[in-house]
Structure 1
Amino acid sequence: MVDAAIEYAKTLNVSKDGKDLWVFYVDEATLSNVPYYARPMVGFGATNANIGKKFESWINEGKSPAVSGVLRLYQTLLDLGIKPIFITDTKEEFRQVRMANQKKAGYHSWFKFICQ
């Protein structure tokens, strides 16, 4: 799927006027939360004890790894002159930690970062 998106992006007539944008969804698209779901206390959703607070704690750790294929797409788009926009369901109070996690994972720049 990512290879198809990269091939499509390469066919675009990018104007290089700064108005060419690509929207990425953060949660399970640019950043993976699989390490969180794999934790014994979460059990891939098998437990239901205060999952929301546990997930917020995970976000606050800033340890979500990049989804490698999407990171490759992101890098290709930057090379083509397309500006990324990131959208997340993460609450506004976690904006700074989520943005820092994005940078740590390799997504170092964007046009906008939009939280819930």
Structure 2
Amino acid sequence: MASRAALWFLWLLSLCLTTEILASENDSYSWSNILQLLEAQCVAKRGDEDLEKGKELTHGNYCESWRFNVELHNIKDFNSIPDECASSVGKYMSSSQYKSDVRRVADETSRFLTNSFRLAGDSRDAWVFDVDDTLISTVPFYKKHHFGDIVDCRSDPLDRASLEKWMAKGKATVIDDMLSLFREINSKGLDIFIISWRPEHLRTATVDNLFKAGYHGWTKLILRCDEESYVDAQSYKSEQRKKLVEQGYRLWGIVGSQWSSLTGHSTAKRTFKLPNPMYYL
């Protein structure tokens, strides 16, 4: 406390000296000029204090920075959410901010369609959607497991097997803004292809879940067969898009919550990324 008081005294002393020098050396300096100078120095001082305070908040901001960098694709190949961030991710995925972010993706996609899309009329205009956390949400599953917070004694470690067991029950919920976007794209005459990392044995459950959520009228649902189990998600999805292009389809856009759905070869004219910090494929 004594050292802080001494620093404040020295700072105030320097202000007084600065004021006297300005007033004596330059008559053009009015007191309003001097007051503006003092205000600027106060702002600078508060900025320094904020920076110091920021150092103290680094740990508190860590999870927000982690989630942000997942969306930027700076953080890749993570197997799970950091234990200390599970609660933060859960709050975001259940928040109005998440819903607002999804709506913005839908709005920007719709704007692109309005401004850039023209139907050729040869039945070769196409659009690609992913399934999980694009058309339907796995948030209920992750919420049940506390988003992988293994520090929480109520939570079980997450794995792909438990997720697929849950998928087989067809309990994924609709993402409302994506349903509206799906219907808009369908109404414009594009063929809709749904390319998912889900395994083929979940086809019936996936179709039933999509129907129950309100999705109808897609051209083809493409799921991963057994031989493709050892291929990474990006390569698998790229290969499926390549097959569509080889059949003469023009891919106008892709919507997905994973970078593996958007990157690789045979991509579309535009890609639209939905937020999803829960897992990485």
Q: Same fold (TM over 0.5)?
A: yes
Quote the offset at 1:20 in angstroms. 1.1
Q: Which amino acid aligns with 1:7?
A: R
Mapping of 1:46-57 within 5 angstroms? 46-47=149-150, 49=157, 51-57=159-165
1:104, 1:18 → 2: CA distance? 27
The corresponding residue for 2:139 is 34
Hey, what does 2:240 align to over in structure 1?
none
Give the 3-state SS of the residue equivalent to 2:173 in structure 1: coil
* TM-score of the pair, normalised by structure 2: 0.39
- Separation (CA, whole Å) in 2 of partners of 1:2 and 1:21: 17
Q: Which has the higher contact order (CA 8 A, sep 6+)?
A: 1
Q: Is the 8 Å Cα contact of residues 10 and 80 (structure 1) preserved in structure 2? A: no
What is the alpha-carbon distance in structure 2 between the residues aligned to residue 112 and residue 2 of structure 1? 22
Q: Which has the higher helix share?
A: 2
CA contact (8 A) 2:186 2:217 kept: no
Q: Which amino acid aligns with 2:207?
A: M
Structure 2 unpaired stretches of 5+: 1-104, 151-155, 225-281
Counterpart among 74, 91, 94 of residue 199 in structure 2: 91
Q: CA deviation at 1:10?
A: 2.2
- Among 110, 116, 119, the alignment partner of 1:6 is 110
Give the residue type in structure 2 aligned to 1:31: I
Aligned residues: 114
Corresponding residue of 1:43 = 146
How far, CA to CA, are the matches of 1:99 and 1:58 in structure 2? 15
Question: How many percent identity over aligned positions?
Answer: 29
Compute the displacement of 1:56 (Å). Answer: 1.2
Structure of larger gyration radius: 2
Matched, 1:81 2:185: no
1:54-69 map, 5 Å: 54-69=162-177
Quick check: 2:148–2:157 contact (8 Å CA) kept in 1?
Answer: no
